[in-house]
A and B are shown apart, each in its own frame.
Chain A
Amino acid sequence: GDSVTQMEGPVTLSEEAFLTINCTYTATGYPSLFWYVQYPGEGLQLLLKATKADDKGSNKGFEATYRKETTSFHLEKGSVQVSDSAVYFCALSDRTGRRALTFGSGTRLQVQP
């Protein structure tokens, strides 16, 4: 079945550091890929998405590129802020008719001032 693997957290960075959170997936066909973010006490917010190979999703300074050859969708940001502290989830949605999202386990990011 489909699966998403994320790097273990927590990831602790200083403000203005470069962020990478790794995400790889296993799926049949050509899934859509997503990054969601969850702030403390809140639900999930869509951060960015990509629907086909080599697509780059971007939002609020975050970027991720759909790499079919490596089945990866790594999240990057050039300069993190304290306000970026949250849990980040990589997810996929396949196109076989099943509409559920398959999520990774989440990566907690802590940004220190």
Chain B
Amino acid sequence: KAGVTQTPRYLIKTRGQQVTLSCSPISGHRSVSWYQQTPGQGLQFLFEYFSETQRNKGNFPGRFSGRQFSNSRSEMNVSTLELGDSALYLCASSGGQTSSGANVLTFGAGSRLTVL
């Protein structure tokens, strides 16, 4: 069974540009979450989508947005890039709570964004 696929894996942008990252979840998973990982702030939650609706949102400025399509694939967009947006952006999918009640996330390999 294919895992979570993120594209592109690496990209370089300059300040002021915008970027779109893509995530294909595990087949059958309807929930997609996005996290930002930086050396200074660690892993921070961006947002979660379920059935094309944003269900939860972290504490990030409006420059960070996302969407989910009917096939559960998701994209996130960052506009007006700043140097501090350089990070590894991780996507995770979930098939819902397991029988034990845990919501297990499966992560992709990430998209590493460098802003110059």
- Residues 33-59 of A, flagged 1 when their CB comes within 8 A of B and 0 if not, give 010100001111110010110000000
The chain B residue sitting closest to A91, CB to CB, is B43
Select which of B92, B104, B108, B109 is within 8 A of A49 by beta carbon: B104
Q: Which of A32, A42, A52 has the most CB of B within 10 A?
A: A32
Select which of A41, A46, A100 is within 8 A of B48 by beta carbon: A100
Number of A residues with CB within 8 Å of any CB on chain B? 24
The prevalent SS among residues of B at the interface is: strand
In the bound complex, do residue A99 and residue B42 qualify as a contact, i.e. CB atoms below 8 Å apart? no
A17 within 8 A of B: no
What range describes how many residues of B lie at the interface? 20 to 34
Min CB–CB distance A47 → chain B (angstroms)? 12
The chain A residue sitting closest to B101, CB to CB, is A51
In the bound complex, do residue A100 and residue B102 qualify as a contact, i.e. CB atoms below 8 Å apart? no
B72 within 8 A of A: no
Query: Which residues of B pack against A, CB within 8 Å?
Result: 4, 6, 31, 33, 35, 42-43, 45, 48, 55-56, 58, 90, 92, 94, 100-110
